[in-house]
Amino acid sequence: MDYSISEVARYFKISVSALRYYDQVGLLHPAGRRGTVRTYGRDELRRLALVQLLHQDGMMSVASTAAALSGDSPGGESRSVMAESIRVMQHQIERLRAAQEVLEHLLTCPRDDPIRDCTVLGAQLEATVDAALHE
């Protein structure tokens, strides 16, 4: 059974324009057309589910997903793209953990106004300013 672009958009909670964009960048091509309406079969829906999975929570960018799914060099390019996405994700995790530590400290800081009076935060801000001025 084939589904129209608007049906797919509704079922997968994605905009019609996003589906058109995915076609434009080579991520997801329609199976065919019913008049001027793009239609998608089960194989295309599975590919859309994969694209959505790879985009979930910023796992991969559109460009990385397109490269991984291009099929130009089976396995090799895909693994390289996934490895780079993991490196980017690890960096984001490190930054989020550092941000979490700052917020947790501010929550437990004994100062009445930790944003203005915390000596730990103050020292960190001074170090950031000094680093910026010396680059």
Contact 19, 5 (CB under 8 A): yes
What's residue 74's pLDDT?
61
- Give pTM, 2 decimals: 0.73
- Mean pLDDT calculated for residue range 87-104: 94
Nearest to 109 by CA among 127, 122, 96, 126: 122
Place of tokens 């964009």: 21
Given a cut of 70, is residue 21 above it in pLDDT? yes
What's residue 80's pLDDT?
87
The residue count for the chain: 135
DSSP 57: G
Given a cut of 60, is residue 73 above it in pLDDT? no
pLDDT band at residue 72 under the 50/70/90 scheme: low
